[in-house]
Amino acid sequence: MEYLRPIRYSLALSAAAGVLAACSTASKLTPLPTVSGFSSASVSPNTMLSARLGRSRRRDLLYVTSGEDVNVYSYPRGALLGSLGNVGGNLCSDKAGDVFDSFNAEVLEYAHGAELPKETLYTPSFAGPCSVDPTSGNLGVVSGFPNAVVVFPYNQKRGWRFAKEYIVANMEFVHYCGYDGSGNLFIDGTTSSGYAFAELPKDGKVVEPLVLNQNFVNPGAIQWDGSYITFADRGQSYPSAAVIYRFTVSGYFGTEVGSTTLSQSNADGQFWIQDGRVVGQYLPAKYDDGVGIWAYPAGGAPLKTFATGTIADSETVSVAGR
């Protein structure tokens, strides 16, 4: 089957970059070749996944990065349905159920329950954790610059557009990013003296420092829970129970309004909040690797656990037909 080749925008990009550089040094345009269908040589069709999904495509699905694989489970039951193959990276999903898998210098977009990606997006450097703006469909991705985030604007009629890279000036290394319900992108990372937080306001051109009134040992994943923006603390020792803090943000300041501790979790990983539950890496005292599901925001002991065989680095829930 013949697939469309990446489109090159060299002339248009050069002109656009010049205009942007004259306006601001905080962001820059980068090429975004959009591929229709599947083009990555690192992924191959998984016929077992396709056969086992069956009617499960009509239900919510849990995607988990385990080692170099992305495994697909029924949710919340936790039955293994198959794997997307050797494409293990950082996972996030949007409200339509599309799943984004970012690794190396590309982001693969999968429709809910699909075994092959429908789009491939390219980043200027290593693609880290990601988040989708619920108001626009824009995709934010941590860049291996190392102190930058890349935003892929999305247009419902034209699809993915030119990406913009934003330098996070108050960080040396960016760890995670996450959109809130209004389209503001929050970022955490580290400096030579500790940790730092920042915000790219909706439609903003500059990443601004953010101050939170909570001490963190090691800032982790960021996600909107439907009411508050949340920042996870990954702790210092291995394993540490994850603590998810909830904040309200006004201007350059964030105020904590509550926290959730996930017992028997390993905080050094991403967690995903969905419909009154939070999914994450489960690591009890006997060091069996797996996935846990906790009540949110109550936390405490997991409601359910199931084995994954290797450490679960990243998770996301893909919703069906909402």
Determine the average pLDDT of the residues in 259-269: 89
- CA-nearest of 168, 97, 80 to 128 is 168
State the DSSP H helix or E strand holding residue 47, giving kind and residue range, or none if neither: helix 47-53
Distance CA 65, CA 79 (A): 15
Distance CA 182, CA 314 (A): 24
Count of CB atoms situated within 10 Å of the CB of 133: 24
Distance CA 93, CA 208 (A): 25
The CATH superfamily holding the domain 28-318 is: YVTN repeat-like/Quinoprotein amine dehydrogenase (2.130.10.10)
pTM value is: 0.85
Tell me: the pLDDT tens digits for 158-176? 889 889 999 999 999 999 9
Pairwise pLDDT comparison (250 vs 266), residue with the higher score: 250
Three-state DSSP at 243 gives strand
- Which residue's structure tokens are 């009154």? 276
SS3 percent helix, strand, coil of the chain, rounded to 5, is 10, 45, 45
Distance CA 294, CA 182 (A): 26
- Mean residue pLDDT of the chain comes to 83
